[in-house]
A and B are shown apart, each in its own frame.
Chain A
């Protein structure tokens, strides 16, 4: 059974979306003061470092960058079993910071719920904002993104795949129909 794959965002498109999100983050937070980026493994962490580079280009300042692995905060151990556990690396205090969580695809919202719980266990951020490259809908929790690269209406059967190259640069986003 061949899946039908459509490229919905190419390298240039992803680049433009990330640049816009970087501007929006700076506009909303009035600069980089107190702003930190935390990417969700895996995918969100690569995008977070892209966003950091763009923010540095625009504003000339490097914001702190961390990565969070939400496996320890998942709610589906019973159905999906023990998934491999990645490392959480947030080498700076979160207290009082404006944390921008970064993920590649926003779907049910459960990953974001887990990531917020993980962050709150590590400190007391002033605020948590959410940046995603793709919002594909179908939320199961009252969660929304503050910054969205592209809204893509999907069905549950479809998949969204964000492809990265060996240098962890995003190449393209594909919609896969079964």
Chain B
């Protein structure tokens, strides 16, 4: 039973909508609701949150009735490494410069695939560094230092 619930597609979709809706309503308590005539900043979000919770409840119910399972596969490796590569890019582009940020992003992203060939990624990184530096830094004139703190 528990395992079936864990893989229940609609159940989780519903729970997610309830979560978003309830959180929105909860946070929007701090914003003045106002009235229909003079809508405060809390008016629209509270109503939207309520609608979302309503949909969430219906979808959860559908899920419990239908019990459709999640069929898509998920590569945990990609799920972890790809967002991580972006985060590292964000950190490095400010602290180490444009080129190191791109190089690290390339390597971490490439690692998230099934096949990783070091030399191939190295060559590709070289090509992309040249391409992006000429397009974005020299071409479009974006003011990012290529290297920083070296």
A and B form one complex: no
Which residues of A does B touch, CB under 8 Å?
none
Which residues of B does A touch, CB under 8 Å?
none
